[in-house]
Chain A
Amino acid sequence: GAGVSQSPSNKVTEKGKDVELRCDPISGHTALYWYRQRLGQGLEFLIYFQGNSAPDKSGLPSDRFSAERTGESVSTLTIQRTQQEDSAVYLCASSLGLATVTDTQYFGPGTRLTVL
């Protein structure tokens, strides 16, 4: 596709429910990243994929958070038993993945998650 897409755009859920957030990276981009942006804050790194492998999950806040990726395409971020502090915008980015320090990450529009 022309850019990174994410769905849904907005998600409202009740505390304790599970949610799935989807990211479609730019075609041909092997690297994929998830970030969280809390209100009024910068972005926090959550997880990085190279292909369908996740060499770095260090940013995931708790074991309620997990992510997977199918090949070099779609990724899903799952939050189980959502809590109010999970409310944030979840942003996905992708890059060519050829050389990490030189890669530019291109972002999707994000999913705004609200946990009531």
Chain B
Amino acid sequence: AQTVTQSQPEMSVQEAETVTLSCTYDTSESNYYLFWYKQPPSRQMILVIRQEAYKQQNATENRFSVNFQKAAKSFSLKISDSQLGDTAMYFCAFAGSNYKLTFGKGTLLTVNP
């Protein structure tokens, strides 16, 4: 069974600065996808970024990028130029050979003005 661990329950960052959220996972599968989802107070889960395990190049979406270390089973999210609207819960998730997403417990990120 897969597990996803987010070791930082809460983090804060000043507006315009950079923050990195950590995620590690455990799996025996070789083909899988990793995701970061954002959940603001509205509860809507929003896909931030996804990474295919077979790709060595780290995924990037505007201010969001990942550091994917397959051997270490690490998948961290870097948010550059943090904005107040980035305040939310961030969940790391794993999808393997089945259809289930396995989620970490989340990191509450607060962006301070």
Residues in A lying within 8 Å of B, measured CB to CB: 31, 33, 35, 40-45, 48, 56, 59, 89, 91, 93, 95, 100-110, 112
Identify 28 residue pairs between A and B in the complex whose beta-carbon atoms are under 8 Å apart, listed by A's number: A31-B99, A33-B101, A42-B91, A42-B106, A44-B103, A45-B101, A48-B99, A56-B98, A56-B99, A56-B100, A89-B43, A91-B43, A100-B97, A100-B99, A101-B33, A101-B95, A101-B97, A102-B52, A103-B99, A104-B35, A105-B101, A107-B45, A108-B44, A109-B42, A109-B43, A109-B44, A110-B43, A110-B44
Are A101 and B31 closer than 8 Å at their CB atoms?
Answer: yes
Closest 7 A/B residue pairs (Cβ): A42-B103, A107-B45, A100-B99, A45-B100, A43-B103, A110-B43, A42-B105
- Set of chain B residues within 8 Å of A112, measured between Cβ atoms: 43
Chain B interface size, as a band, is: 20 to 34
Are B44 and A107 closer than 8 Å at their CB atoms?
Answer: yes
A101 CB contact (under 8 Å) in B44, B93, B96: B96
Q: Is the CB of B47 closer than 8 A to any CB of chain A? A: yes
